[in-house]
Structure 1
Amino acid sequence: MIKKLWITLVFGIAFLSSYSQKLNVTKLDSLFRAMDEKNVFMGSIAISKNGNLIYSNSIGKADIATNENLSFKTKYRIGSTTKTFTSALVFKAIENRKITLNQTIEEFFPTIENSEKITIEMLLKHRSGIADFLTADDFANGYTEAKSKEEMIAIISKLKSDFNPNSKAAYSNSNYYLLTVILEEIYNKSYQALLNEQIVKPLKLRDTYFGGKINLQNNECYSYHFSDKWEKDTEGDTSVPLGAGGIVSNPNDLTIFIKNLFKGEIITLESLKTMTQIQDKYGMGIFELPFYDKKGFMHRGSIDSFGSVLCYFPDENLAIAITSNGAIYDKKKVLIAALSNYFNKPYKIIFEPFKPNQEDLDKYVGDYMSLSYPRTIAITKNNTNILANFSDQSVLSIEPVEKNKFENLWEGSKIEFKPSTKEMIFEENGEKFIFSKK
């Protein structure tokens, strides 16, 4: 028995290392050790290749009051990463001929503005124009109290549309809340039941479910924000976001889910192709994630002080999931470090971000035009960040990297200012454009 166990262990180590040859585990370990020592991040990561776990780590506390550590088994609220699950359920319903992409929503929500023009597809792609319910006065102080579907639909119905349906795209939690209600009505089942039946049980996900009140006894954790020390955050009631942000999971389960999604084990590959078509930077419950010459897909989320990001690179069969219950060092920087590690790209670990002075920021402010770029960009400042306001009314927040240089890691956008010549170099998806200040 002992001999058999030893052989199994040796085989397992050899099997794991064969998939880890592109990953510098020591360097990645050092990042998490440094984040733990500097007390700037609490959370977990899982990286899988071809469906095999090749790296995992957890640092920080599940409950600071009892000094309970986070672990591989800890479960987190994943916020808007829930939307990828919801989108998969919608496509499953389409495959089951319960609904169609071009079906309008007035039969479900006659009180919502433009419901006779808004389609299921527009909800999925954030092109409905329906305002985000989190902007409503009802949630000015958060959402710690439960809301019924009737209450939520009434709140959303009171909101003025942000734009005409399908004229542009803008992120709105309302879209996925309404998709959840549609799913529940056409199946006459709860979102939780649909999630269990169509995703959790078929994939044998052990740690994924629709969340309720946080339960430490069930390997869940509290979330924390940082002032002079970590302070426990309030708990949002998951009846408010529903399928827009209510799932609880952990990184290992998330990598299993995304791998199976892209392998056609949840919805068909034809449905997946439709789901991952990008228009105005939006897919259907998923976004594109370019990384150098690699093409991945991702979604990220936040709820209370929890954060999550889930990504998949189809050509490499590579999945990375990061969850946090407290972060000063942003999870997107952890993701960039993990991707850079795997793809052998250079990256810097900087815990103290560069802070430009206000005099420098004032030099950047103004309107910029380019003969080779279709939109004017108005630069304004917001604390130490700058905002790139495009003429189509979209706004991009750009964070400082070093003097005169800013970037948004999620969007793959970079800006370099040249105050002496009143020029700005704007990089978008690897392509550079030179702008002149008016």
Structure 2
Amino acid sequence: MKRITLLITLIVCTTQVGFSQSIDKVKLDSYFKALEDDNRFMGSVAVSQDGKLVYTKAVGFSDVETKTKATENTKYKIGSISKTFTAVLVFKAIEENRLGLTETIGKYFPSIQHADKITISQLLGHRSGIFNYTNNPENMKLKSKKHTEKELLDVIAKGGSDFEPDSKVSYSNSNYILLTFILQKVYNKSISVLLKEKITTPLVLKSTYFSKPIDVTDNESNSYNFNGSWIKDSETDMSVALGAGAIVSKPTDLLKFADALFNGKLISMKSLELMKTIRDGYGIGLFPIPFYDKKGYGHTGGIDKFTSVFGYFPEGKVAYALTSNGSSYNNNAISIALLSSVYNKPYDVPVFYAAEDLGKYLGVYSSTSFPLKITITKNEKTLVGQASGQSAIALEATEKDKFRFEPANLVLEFLPLESKMILKQGAGVFTLSKE
């Protein structure tokens, strides 16, 4: 249940952005064909304006093994976008006088450190200080194992507290696991039933529900990592993710959900304003999504190799959503392309460089100034990098002797004649030599 950072602030300025009279669907189709042809992205996207669907596209396979092509009806796990749904359910409980924002959680979870100080509001806004249990590698080894409420609560309680409640903000899946348990207690119903009764049935979201073991015969997709070819990933059990990241959906359902939420059809406008109130970069179940002079709100998600994002821009009532079951590309770049098409801003259809003679790059690279060794191998026509103790990643050739892994903002530049490699990530630049 990862929060994937969305950086549409790449181009923040005061320039006014107008709506496109009509989206250039041909250009967007070319954009996604380029990603699909080079195995950069498998998934589905959708865009709406004023509640009307204006673009949708699905590329890649929902199931690589059977070569089942993705369609507009393919369903994907949406990871942490589930938190937005959970936050809506909490506000519904508040509006029904079942919960209070300033209510503390001591009566529900006396084993949690500072439970007598932590409020519902602090759980919602990631200000509780409760340790994020998914940050512990030992916990995530158990992700495919079914957990009871007691087992998961014990794991969270054991993690303790990272800071005094409300003293700062820190993203924690533990917060929304606890909110799930609270909702189930106050309603005496499962979170899956609450989602159905209070959100998906009223909005007729037939493809949105809490996940179960993946069933590809029911238009559900497996998730994949690209390492020269698409490799199926393992599956997280729903009991580990719950309201923090266990929902399945598709882009067109997410657009309907966004339109309903931001137009007062799910919770009151007063509750919505609280969700939209940004404090230290966080709202409640929402994050800011700026694009030029436009101010949007949404959430990102990631679980196993599924990634997702949805956003809503109140001005013009523009909504967009992306769900993916495999990506070696930067989803933020795809978000920018979709929004650029809506707002009539320039963007490029990607062109991918085909590297030749990968053998000259292979080897183990190290440096006294860099803590890890980098092993470079190849898988057919794809260069693969692996830092000591980390997973292997497929590298994209961008030009002669240069490769990148865009999701981590990583660039590798090789100097074959000198048997060296320059690694760039963020502000860091390191020169490594081949052993």
Q: Which TM-score applies when normalising by structure 1?
A: 0.76
In the alignment, what sits opposite 1:210?
Answer: 210
Superposition CA RMSD, Å: 2.6
2:311 is equivalent to residue 311 of structure 1: yes
Question: 1:54 maps to what in 2?
Answer: 54
Within-5 A mapping of 1:192-203: 192-203=192-203
Instruction: Quickly say closer, same or farther: Cα 1:306–1:137, change in 2 above 3 A.
Output: closer
2:409 counterpart of 1:399 = yes
Query: CA offset at residue 105 of structure 1?
Result: 0.4
Corresponding position of 1:63? 63
CA contact (8 A) 2:409 2:426 kept: no
CA distance in 2, matches of 1:142, 1:31: 38
Identity %: 45
- Taking the TM superposition and a 5 Å limit, the aligned residue runs for 1:238-387 are 238-350=238-350
Separation in 1 of the partners of 2:253 and 2:230? 27
Q: Which residue of 2 aligns with 1:157?
A: 157
Q: CA shift at 1:134, angstroms?
A: 0.9
Give the distance between the partners of 2:301 and 2:42, measured in 1 at CA: 16
The answer to whether the 8 Å contact 1:136/1:155 transfers is: no
Deviating beyond 4 angstroms after TM superposition, the runs of 4 or more aligned structure 1 residues are: 349-353, 400-403
Give the distance between the partners of 1:140 and 1:268, measured in 2 at CA.
Answer: 37
Please state whether the residue corresponding to 1:347 is helix, strand or coil: coil
2:33 paired residue number:
33
Q: Contact 1:83–1:243 (CA<8 Å) still a contact in 2?
A: yes
Name the counterpart of 2:75: 75
The alpha-carbon distance between structure 1 residues 111 and 416, as it changes in their structure 2 partners (threshold 3 A), is closer
Displacement, 1:402? 12
Q: Secondary structure at the match of 1:156?
A: helix
Change (3 A) 1:248 1:171: same
Evaluate the alpha carbon distance shift between residue 295 and residue 22 of structure 1 in structure 2; reply closer, same or farther with a 3 A threshold. farther
Gaps of 5+ in 1: 1-18, 363-381, 384-396, 404-414, 420-438
1:89 aligns with 2:89: yes
Change (3 A) 1:198 1:416: closer
| Equivalent runs, 1:8-19 vs 2, <5 Å | none
Deviation at 1:346, TM superposition (A): 2.4
Structure 1 residue 352 displacement after superposition: 5.9
Alpha-carbon offset, residue 160 of structure 1? 2.4
8 Å CA contact retained: 1:22, 1:343: no
Q: 2-side partners of 1:147 and 1:119: how far apart? A: 25
User: 1:197–1:43: structure 2 CA closer, same or farther, 3 Å change rule?
Assistant: same
Gaps of 5+ in 2: 1-18, 354-364, 371-389, 394-406, 414-424, 430-435
CA contact (8 A) 2:34 2:351 kept: no
Equivalent residue letter for 2:59:
I
Q: Give how far 1:158 is off.
A: 0.4
- d(CA) in 2 for partners of 1:34, 1:267: 40
SS of residue in 1 equivalent to 2:315: helix
Map 1:162-241 to 2 at 5 A: 162-241=162-241
CA distance in 1, matches of 2:215, 2:169: 37
Could you tell me the TM-score, scaled by structure 2's length?
Answer: 0.77
Indicate conservation of the 8 Å contact 1:76/1:221, yes or no: yes
* CA distance in structure 1 between the partners assigned to 2:121 and 2:41 by the alignment: 37
Find the residue that maps to 1:66 and give its secondary structure: coil
- Letter of the aligned partner of 2:409 in structure 1? E
Q: Residue 78 of structure 1: CA displacement? A: 0.4
Equivalent position of 2:383 in the other structure = none
2:26 aligned counterpart, secondary structure: helix
Aligned residue-pair number: 354
Deviation of 1:26 after TM superposition, in Å, equals: 1.3
The alignment partner of 1:315 has SS state of coil
The residue type equivalent to 1:399 in the other structure is N
1:127 maps to what in 2? 127
In 2, Cα distance between equivalents of 1:416 and 1:34: 27
